[in-house]
Structures are given as C-alpha cells and as structure tokens.
A and B are shown apart, each in its own frame.
Chain A
Amino acid sequence: GAGVSQSPRYKVAKRGQDVALRCDPISGHVSLFWYQQALGQGPEFLTYFQNEAQLDKSGLPSDRFFAERPEGSVSTLKIQRTQQEDSAVYLCASSSMGLYTGELFFGEGSRLTVL
C-alpha cells in the first residue's frame, strides 16, 4: 500500500479480554516500530523490529504485551488480559533505513478502549 496501514482503527474491549492489533508497513521497509500514545501525551516507544528480528522490546510495559513480525512484513501487537490503563492509541511506524538516517512513516493508529 501507499502508507502504513493499521487495523482495527477502533477497538473496545472488556477488562480481561485479549486483543490483537495489526500493522501493515510500507512495502520493503526493513524497520518497524510500535508506540503507545495516551490521551494528551506524546507517543512512547514499545518495541522495534528489523525484518523479523525483535531488536528492542524495552518499552513493553508488562509481560501481557507481546509483538511479532514472523515474516518481516506484517506485525501484530497482542495484549493479553487487558486492563483499563492499556487504553491508548497504538501507533505503528516503518522506515526503509536505520532510525538515524531515515524518517519514520506512521500509521493512523489503533485506538483501544478498555472498559
């Protein structure tokens, strides 16, 4: 596609449910990032992939959060046993080059509301 595509755009989950958020990066982009953006805040880093390898997961807030990118293209962010504090917009970004030389292209985000 022309840009980074994320689905679903909106997700409402009951506390304790598992959710899966999908990211389709720009074709050929090697790097993929997940960020979490709480209301009124800046995005916060969750995890980073280079192709299928997860090189940095230092931002994942707990072991309920899991991300994968098995074939080096589409990525899924999974949140198990959702809690109210997980409510946020989850942003995916991709880049054709390393972070320091290339700009990040962001998707429109998946807004998760946990009731």
Chain B
Amino acid sequence: AQKVTQAQTEISVVEKEDVTLDCVYETRDTTYYLFWYKQPPSGELVFLIRRNSFDEQNEISGRYSWNFQKSTSSFNFTITASQVVDSAVYFCALSVNYGGSQGNLIFGKGTKLSVKP
C-alpha cells in the first residue's frame, strides 16, 4: 500500500525564520514520483516540485529547497527566510505507476504553515 505522512499538522514561525516541512512516504514500488503542492486560502493547489525515485539530487529554487533521501523514505521541504506570503497549507504527494497506466496522486494530510510578521 502507498501512504504519505506529514506529521506536522501546524507550524507557526516569525518572518525571516527558516522552516522545514517533513514528509515520509511508503511504497513497495521502485518507480515512483514525489510532489509538493501549496494550497493558499483561495483553495487551488499550486504545483511546487516533482521528483522521480531515481533522482536523489537535492534541489534549490530561490528560497525553496528539497531534500530527498530514499534511505529514510523522506522528501522534506525547507523554506529559507520565510515570508508572510508563504502562509498556506503544504501537501506532499506520491504517485505510483500501475502497470503502465496513469496512477493517481496520494496526498498527505498537509501541514498548515503560518508566518507571522
């Protein structure tokens, strides 16, 4: 079975602090994809990043960085120098290929990040 666990339900930080959102996944498949999405109060999910299971290189995009470690089945997300606009619910998701057909995204329960001025 596939599962995504985001143990942190809510995190509150003060602007300019760094914050890391944890994500642990479970799958027996060797080919899979991991995602992070941001859900602001307006409701639409915004794609942030996609990684495949064969690429463990960490990635940095501006103030965002991602740490993928297969050994611990984790795909953590760090925001450096957080800003009020980063306040949102962040979802980690897993996608697995079923026999060549399109799989679906399995989401964690999300982490609500509040950045205070």
Given A40-B109, A99-B95, residue A104 in contact with residue B101 (CB < 8 A) = no
Given A41-B109, A42-B110, A43-B91, residue A99 in contact with residue B43 (CB < 8 A) = no
User: How far is the CB of B51 from the nearest CB of chain A, in Å?
Assistant: 11
Taking a contact as CB atoms under 8 Å apart, the answer to whether A43 and B103 are in contact is: no
**Stretch of A11-19, A48-56, A65-73 lying at the B interface:** A48-56
B93-113 to A contact mask, C-beta < 8 Å, 1/0:
101010001111111111000
Given A42-B91, A44-B107, residue A98 in contact with residue B102 (CB < 8 A) = yes
Taking a contact as CB atoms under 8 Å apart, the answer to whether B44 and A106 are in contact is: yes
A-B contact count (CB 8 A): 67
Q: Does A21 contact B (CB under 8 A)?
A: no
Taking a contact as CB atoms under 8 Å apart, the answer to whether B50 and A103 are in contact is: yes
Taking a contact as CB atoms under 8 Å apart, the answer to whether B44 and A108 are in contact is: yes
Taking a contact as CB atoms under 8 Å apart, the answer to whether A103 and B47 are in contact is: yes
Q: How many residues of B contact A (CB 8 A)?
A: 25
A30-58 to B contact mask, C-beta < 8 Å, 1/0:
01010100001111110010100001101
Q: How many residues of A contact B (CB 8 A)?
A: 30
CB-CB nearest in chain B for A100: B33
Q: Does B60 contact A (CB under 8 A)?
A: no
User: Chain B contacts of A43 at CB under 8 A?
Assistant: 45, 91, 105, 107
In the assembled complex, 26 residue pairs joining A and B whose CB atoms fall closer than 8 Å, in A order, are A3-B44, A35-B105, A40-B109, A42-B4, A42-B91, A42-B93, A43-B107, A45-B104, A50-B102, A58-B104, A59-B104, A91-B45, A99-B95, A99-B102, A99-B104, A100-B33, A100-B52, A103-B50, A104-B45, A104-B105, A106-B37, A106-B44, A106-B45, A107-B44, A108-B44, A109-B43
